[in-house]
Chain A
Amino acid sequence: MDLHTITSVIEAPTRAAQAAWQPGDAWLAGGTWLFSEPQPHLRRLVDLTGFGWAPLRADETGLEIAATCTLAQLYAAPLPPHWPAGPLIRDCCHALLGSFKVWNEATVGGNLCLSLPPGPMISLTAALDGVCTIWTPDGGHRHVAAAEFVTGPRGNVLAPGELLRSVTLPDRALRATTAFRQISLTPHGRSAALLIGAFTPDSFTLTVTASTVRPIQLRFPTVPGPAALAAAVDRAIGPPLYYDDVHGSPAWRRHMTLRFAEEISRELDGHGAA
């Protein structure tokens, strides 16, 4: 929709512009959320695509995903065979409520920065041990684990004027064998629970998202049995952590979270220590 209070757009920003960040400014990536709701508090948009970042950069250390990489670019990324995470990337793209047309504009960084519990790029990058690179207004940068980036519904670690530059998925995590589970109140709806299990030779990580107000990660040396994993999840996630909105009641989200934990344990069972 038209954002009528916007009086200017910085189409080709520099890091100097970041230092001049002021209330009423908003970083614009894909715009698929920003333009989907009234934003009467905003006056100026700073277009991150103007930085011209390469969407994806892969090397032996991992995959760097620019904040402005679109879901369509990520979905289509050819990954080398020793990174079996391709299907997981596609599952996470499909978990976005928005259609494939939205993928053409929506960005990975935008999904993280919106910080809604069902954001599937939060799930993906958290599950694959992503590391966020944050540009600070003073021209510097800092790193935060993707699993720690989101602090709650619409809340994240960015301070005013900071921006998300990229998320890097390490080579070790991209080699993981993964299991994906997602459910919504409707066949293709917004996720009410999205769990990813990732098994590498030295560890097993269960990442719980969508059902919880922020990503919750549990790590084990091997894959626990179904009952043990569900029990561990239940211990780790108390009632206040379950998200409550029109896309699913907290009690059901808990039920599905425990059920999916069991299913993931069974699916990855062959990769356990046993």
Chain B
Amino acid sequence: MTPRSIEVNARSFTAQPRPGQCLRTYLRELGWHGVKKGCDAGDCGACTVHLDGVPVHSCLLPAYRALGHRVTTIEGLAPDVGEPHPVQRAFLGAQGFQCGFCTAGMIMTVAALDAEQRQDLGRALKGNLCRCTGYRAIEDAVNGLTHVEHSGPGDQVGRNLPAPAGPQVVTGAARFTLDAAVDGLTHLKLLRSPYAHARITAIDTSAAVAVPGVLAVFTHEDAPEKLYSTARHEDPHDDPADTRLFDDVVRFVGQRVAAVLADSVAAAEEGCRRLVVDYEVLPAVFDPEEAMAPGAPTLHPGKGAEQRIAAAERNIAVEVHGEVGDVEAGFAAADAVYEHTFVSHRVQHAHLETHASISRLDETGRLDVRTSSQVPFLTRGALCDLFDRPEPTVRVHCGRVGGGFGAKQEMLTEDLVALATLRTGRPVQLEFTRQEQFTATTTRHPTTVQIKVGARRDGTLTAMRLRVVSNTGAYGNHAAAMFHSCHEAVSVYRCPNKKVDGYAVYTNTMPAGAYRGYGLSQTIFAVESAMDELARALGIDPTAFRQRNVIGPTDPMIAHSTEPEDVEIGSYGLDQCLALVDAALHRGDRTAPGPGWLVGQGIALAMIDTVPPHGHRSRARISLRADGGYELAVGTAEFGNGTSTVHRQLAASVLGTSVDRIRLRQADTDVVAYDTGAFGSTGIVVAGLAATRAAQALRDQLIVAAAARTNLDPSACELDGDAVRCGGVRLPLADLAQGGWEAAGEGACDGTPRSVAFNVHGFRVAVHPGTGEIRIMQSVHAADAGRVVNPMQCRGQVEGGVAQALGAAMYESMVLDETGRVTTETFRNYHVPAFGDVPRTEVHFADTVDRLGPLGAKSMSESPFNPVAPALANAVRDATGIRFGTLPLSRDRVCLSLAAGAEVPPAHTAGRHPHE
């Protein structure tokens, strides 16, 4: 090798790096797409490679320093072609991944650990973030445990069958959104607002367009006038139409002002720096209560009912009001009443693959958008609407998606690349930086809940009253999460008198959006904390108190109105979940970790509708291939939720075959007629039901055809692996497929009626008053997921949800300064749980079979998040006597609160806005 070349995976490359280029982008430009960008800042480890055998974060390494050296990426880790490295095999065996975006870096790191480092994985893996798994499966992979079962005949449901993309994920061959080579690719970068509220009076683009390589600049003068919402729902009327692609008014720090298209990222960035924008700064408001008060600056004057905004003059995007019974009478009849205010702060999804998309015009002139989305079909609809194009002229599709958690139920990049491609005809890529993720995408809704609950001495609830105020930020995308948040958290309790007032309020902050749990985690934090206090006041065990007051299998579910709904209790496992957690906590060790530690335990419960309201439609198609195998096409995306595995299991189960005979195509507006998308936990219960029905339709066709061939009655024929068994004869499917017969089954599901799923979490904690440390001694979770199609994956969903919720409850916090700017722009300053930050959680499943879900299954992806924070706060309350009403329970606040004998508020310091 010559000194000025780099050896990558035993091949020599002479391309010279640019002066400021890091090794990560150098490798990706050579086509080594297994090297991922999660943060580009050395915090997440997704880009880990070996330099002369030594593991390094390739995003931090100046690329020229690799000249004359040997680089190994995930693609070159295995010593022999076609034979995985032992660590790759271990990650397959334990299925130590979900979305798989962190996996290459995780494997490259684990492969470099010595024996001593393997003894302390918390320390050794602190530089590798996984947002999906909760790390248990990764620990099992490191320790060589095997969980996957081999595919084979027999019932496919209830088995730990592996994710179909596993071999690609562990070898770096899985193709995520930007892992595509596109000829003539150009790059878009955005100029973003430095002001929380301002009118743009002029934009001088002349210096920007003069930058060599700059192709075009887009501003509000180029944007369609049409108002829309970045939020995507089956019914577009669920969200206020308050957003323009580029607006002449900016309403939060970080809002897009203009875009520069160039033939390189560097030129596009330089173009952005050369734009000269004149702003007329407007008064801003950051606190929702202040925003509703008379005289507050209004964010969306001139908009109103037509844009589906509840009260623009008071900055209210959405409001909910309802009462059943008479709450004041209920409180009068109570022997104990508890009232408190609970604050859930701003947190972010932190999926490792940032928002990104690539658009181009295909050979026929059709707009083709490859994107990181949970909702390709809804995005197609939005693009068609925005640019006045008929549906057949737009295709939207996904590669593998690197995590979503709700954040990708949003159109944040696709509209921009589409605009640029439609104007210039060029292929266009837009990749958000991690800083853009933190400052200019979406977050959970910061929410304040004032709650009052009352009960009689015998423990019977008499009244519940909630006033919920959520901060929807500058735009109302997913402000409607308010409806959800005020619903299942309340309707899970039998109580004759309930009253809810909810407001989703505009402020000049980064917009909130869909976030795992969709508003429920915030209200459940309040309700479950309040129930714990009420039980204490009455001297009743918290589990017994809930058992007395939760709905039973035949009770109506009433939140704040008696309007009929399409939700029914298709199966009921809440009683089992409560009992499972209670029993597990009783089994647990109560010994304090040392002198001075305070020990306590707490539980909380959650209910969730298995499907979002207002319809959720899926179409699936399964066809017999010429070789006798099957091809299943579904619309829903795979982003680590594991639906690809489950869809194959469901179809295989119906078709009497094994999953390896079913090839999957997905998440592409070309492959099926329609799919609302993968959100609201619908991957199994809606898309899975459509797939099941498609398989049933195909099964019937195959049996009829086989019966005709063999002159037998269809009742004598049965599918059997790769054949139809007709009496004593096995007719191979490959024979049936010959002669050009195209057998295909189609299935549909419209997402109604809906069922409910349940989750209960319990913690035993030790709290150290001297340091504020909360040590989780036991974490136990019981889930009612109906018939569990794949226990390994379902357990992983629960563990990942618990870990994400613990992040929100203990560590994560987005901090805004007094100008409304997000100051936590990196993972260094926004602490997503790493391996050593989360405990292992015992996971139990209720034994139920749902009469509505596919083959008895229910949803179980977002809901495990919901009971975690109140269970933790209740355990800390039990241990310390202090009720924490504000999250997160960080060590500094816990320590200072214990010293003060009462909860102290989060520090209002430089860098922390008092209203956040």
Please give the residue numbers on chain A whose beta carbons come within 8 Å of chain B beta carbons, in ascending order.
Answer: 1-9, 11, 28, 30-32, 35-38, 40, 42, 45, 47, 49, 94, 97-102, 104-105, 183, 185-190, 192, 244-253, 255-256, 259
Please give the residue numbers on chain B whose beta carbons come within 8 Å of chain A beta carbons, in ascending order.
Answer: 18-22, 24-25, 40-43, 45, 48, 51, 54-57, 59-62, 64-65, 109, 112, 117, 122-128, 265-266, 269-270, 273, 433, 435, 770-772, 810-811, 813, 815, 823-824, 826, 828-829, 831, 834, 836-837, 890-893, 895-896, 899, 907, 909-912
Instruction: State in angstroms the CA–CA spacing of A186 and B832 once bound together.
Output: 10
Query: What are the 10 tightest A-B residue pairs by CB atom distance, in nearest-first order?
Result: A99-B127, A6-B20, A3-B20, A252-B892, A4-B266, A249-B907, A1-B40, A36-B41, A188-B126, A249-B892
Find chain B residues with CB under 8 A from A37 CB.
41, 826
Q: Can you pick out 19 interface pairs between chain A and chain B where the beta carbons lie within 8 Å of each other?
A: A1-B433, A4-B20, A5-B20, A32-B60, A36-B59, A36-B826, A94-B123, A100-B123, A102-B60, A186-B831, A187-B122, A187-B837, A188-B122, A190-B828, A246-B911, A248-B892, A249-B909, A251-B896, A252-B892
Given the known interface contacts A99-B127, A101-B56, A252-B896, the answer about A244 and B20 at a Cβ–Cβ threshold of 8 Å is no
Given the known interface contacts A4-B265, A45-B20, the answer about A102 and B57 at a Cβ–Cβ threshold of 8 Å is yes
Closest to A28 in B: B62
Q: Are A31 and B128 in contact (CB under 8 A)?
A: no
Q: Are B836 and A188 in contact (CB under 8 A)?
A: yes
Instruction: State in angstroms the CA–CA spacing of A94 and B892 once bound together.
Output: 21
Find chain B residues with CB under 8 A from A49 CB.
65
Interface centre among A36, A94, A259 (most CB of B within 10 A): A36
Distance in angstroms from A41 CB to nearest chain B CB is 11
Q: Are B837 and A45 in contact (CB under 8 A)?
A: no
Find chain A residues with CB under 8 A from B127 CB.
98-102
Find chain B residues with CB under 8 A from A35 CB.
22, 42, 59-62
Instruction: State in angstroms the CA–CA spacing of A40 and B20 once bound together.
Output: 11
Find chain B residues with CB under 8 A from A252 CB.
772, 891-893, 895-896
Q: Are B269 and A4 in contact (CB under 8 A)?
A: yes
Find chain B residues with CB under 8 A from A94 CB.
123
Q: Are B45 and A99 in contact (CB under 8 A)?
A: yes
* Overall SS of chain A's interface: loop
Find chain A residues with CB under 8 A from B45 CB.
99, 101
Given the known interface contacts A99-B126, A187-B836, the answer about A255 and B117 at a Cβ–Cβ threshold of 8 Å is no
From B57, B61, B124, B890, A185 is in contact (CB under 8 Å) with: B890
Find chain A residues with CB under 8 A from B892 CB.
185, 192, 248-249, 251-253
Distance in angstroms from A114 CB to nearest chain B CB is 12
Interface centre among A5, A49, A101, A104 (most CB of B within 10 A): A101
Closest to B57 in A: A101
Q: Are B42 and A186 in contact (CB under 8 A)?
A: no
Instruction: State in angstroms the CA–CA spacing of A244 and B128 once bound together.
Output: 27
Find chain B residues with CB under 8 A from A247 CB.
829
Find chain B residues with CB under 8 A from A255 CB.
895-896, 899
Distance in angstroms from A230 CB to nearest chain B CB is 13
Given the known interface contacts A102-B127, A188-B126, the answer about A246 and B836 at a Cβ–Cβ threshold of 8 Å is no
Closest to A97 in B: B828
Q: Are A1 and B22 in contact (CB under 8 A)?
A: yes
Q: Are B19 and A245 in contact (CB under 8 A)?
A: no
Q: Are B42 and A6 in contact (CB under 8 A)?
A: no
Distance in angstroms from A87 CB to nearest chain B CB is 14
Distance in angstroms from B67 CB to nearest chain A CB is 9
Instruction: State in angstroms the CA–CA spacing of A8 and B19 once bound together.
Output: 5
Apart from A1-B59, A185-B892, A259-B770, 7 more pairs, CB < 8 Å: A1-B40, A5-B266, A35-B62, A101-B112, A102-B60, A185-B831, A190-B828
Instruction: State in angstroms the CA–CA spacing of A63 and B330 once bound together.
Output: 76
Find chain A residues with CB under 8 A from B813 CB.
246
Find chain A residues with CB under 8 A from B122 CB.
187-188
Find chain A residues with CB under 8 A from B826 CB.
36-37
Find chain B residues with CB under 8 A from A251 CB.
892, 896, 907
Q: Are A9 and B266 in contact (CB under 8 A)?
A: no
Find chain A residues with CB under 8 A from B123 CB.
94, 100, 188
Instruction: State in angstroms the CA–CA spacing of A97 and B25 once bound together.
Output: 24
From A3, A105, A250, A259, B56 is in contact (CB under 8 Å) with: A105
Find chain B residues with CB under 8 A from A259 CB.
770-771
Instruction: State in angstroms the CA–CA spacing of A15 and B54 once bound together.
Output: 31
Q: Are B60 and A105 in contact (CB under 8 A)?
A: yes
Find chain A residues with CB under 8 A from B810 CB.
186
Closest to A49 in B: B65
Instruction: State in angstroms the CA–CA spacing of A1 and B25 once bound together.
Output: 8
From A36, A47, A245, B60 is in contact (CB under 8 Å) with: A36
Given the known interface contacts A100-B127, A101-B55, A102-B42, the answer about A31 and B911 at a Cβ–Cβ threshold of 8 Å is no
Closest to B37 in A: A1
Distance in angstroms from B653 CB to nearest chain A CB is 43
Closest to A102 in B: B42
Interface centre among A5, A30, A249 (most CB of B within 10 A): A249
Q: Are A9 and B22 in contact (CB under 8 A)?
A: no
Closest to A251 in B: B896
Instruction: State in angstroms the CA–CA spacing of A38 and B436 once bound together.
Output: 12
